[in-house]
Amino acid sequence: MVSKLVFSGSIVNGIRLIIVAAVLLSTLSMAGCIEPPIQEAVKVIDNGIRDIGQNSASWQAILQRVANQLPQEISETIRVDAQSLANRSIATAGIEFRCNVDFLANRAIESLRRLKAQLLKQNPPLLPPAFCQVDPASIDLKVSPTRWSTVILAGYDLDRKDGATKPLQILLLTGQGSTILLPESRIGRTTHYQITLNLGAMARQLYNDRIAKIVVSWGGKSDGYPQIVVVPWEAKRQTNTAVPIGQTGPYYPPRTGGDADFDTGDDDPTNLEVRGELSISEQAINSRMYMYAHEVEDDYTEVKGWSSWSRAYTPPQGWRIVEVRPNVTSIHSAKVTVHGRITYSRPAGEVVDYFEVWVDSDGDEAGTWSRAITHWRPLNITIEEVMPEWLH
């Protein structure tokens, strides 16, 4: 069970045990305490260790009891140091943080054992910093850095130095296992119960260096300390099949030669060429068509021209076009010998499905009636996410 523990002045008395742990050894040596008080204190501490192990949820009450039951010869000597050490605890800082009850209980047991070692004039183990909350617990490079540029590490004894007198360090761990030391200028050692990491403007470095985690190191080790997972940015891809892009036209090419009347027949063919092409970029697919018709005899009536480019497809915002199939320009040539509408189909590998063409009628056509429509083949379009601005 995870409990939300708001530490206040009410636990200061319970923290006397930790106070004792810090000052008892020097107090005993100065006061010249006799053996019985030490034996009695050890017994009280052993009972506290036992009881917390059996009932971790009651660790605060048990610490209070241990503090109350310590022999007067010992407890009275620590009054001068009580307030100063209590001020270093989270208790009087009024900070809120979450810790697992069993975790806090185990921490209390470690403190009791350290106290016992001091009473017995043994070499007590150095208690490392303890962590209760990391916010945020992960960094997602797909999300704007404004959401994660500041990381808060909360706990207690976060300013405690290791055996080599070094403070805890923050390391950037790459996917290959190498580490990069986070500069001290980016670490705010705010108090002994809070450390603030400034990751502002580091998104590009985290991406380029392929950082997998941000880890805490103390005493040359990172096992058991907080690790902040860095979720990498990876471009997603998707292929949209059979995307319809409609048609271009009718397009009426301008007259470029002869009179306005095409005169087609079996013996008087008109040469025809029509084209359909796409312009493909990362941000758009544009389409246009071309028509050319030329009378081979008599007055050589002619029309010729390209339509304007028109937008056929735009990817969704935040995506780019990476592949389009088919993308082969369609070109069809023919000799027209009939009036009215004619259709020309194109093979599957081209961008045009079929052309509709009108060249000749019973009146003047060039520049006013002769025309063509391009029917585009549905496309298979592969798109990919665009890299966010903060990673550039």
- pLDDT 10s digit of each residue in the chain, 392 long? 333 333 333 333 344 444 444 444 434 434 444 467 778 877 877 887 888 788 877 766 777 777 777 676 654 433 223 223 333 333 333 344 445 555 666 667 777 777 777 777 777 777 788 888 888 889 999 999 988 999 999 887 888 898 899 999 999 999 999 999 999 999 999 888 889 999 999 999 999 999 999 999 999 999 989 999 999 999 999 999 999 999 999 999 999 999 999 988 767 899 999 999 999 999 999 999 999 999 988 889 999 999 999 999 999 999 999 999 999 999 999 999 999 999 999 999 999 999 999 999 988 999 999 999 999 999 999 999 999 999 98
Cβ neighbours of residue 7 under 8 Å, at least 6 residues apart? 89, 90, 91, 93, 94, 95
Long-range contacts of 221-229 (CB under 8 A, 24+ apart): 222/171, 225/131, 225/168, 226/131, 226/134, 226/153, 228/134, 228/136, 228/137, 228/138, 228/139, 228/151, 229/137, 229/138, 229/139
Task: Let me know whether 292 and 348 are in one domain.
Answer: yes
| Structural domain containing residue 183 | 132-231
- Domain boundary residue, one of 231, 258, 289: 231
Residue 391 lies in a domain: no
Task: Let me know whether 144 and 252 are in one domain.
Answer: no
Task: Let me know whether 179 and 193 are in one domain.
Answer: yes
Task: Let me know whether 271 and 381 are in one domain.
Answer: yes
**Does the pTM exceed 0.85?**
no
Residue 392 lies in a domain: no
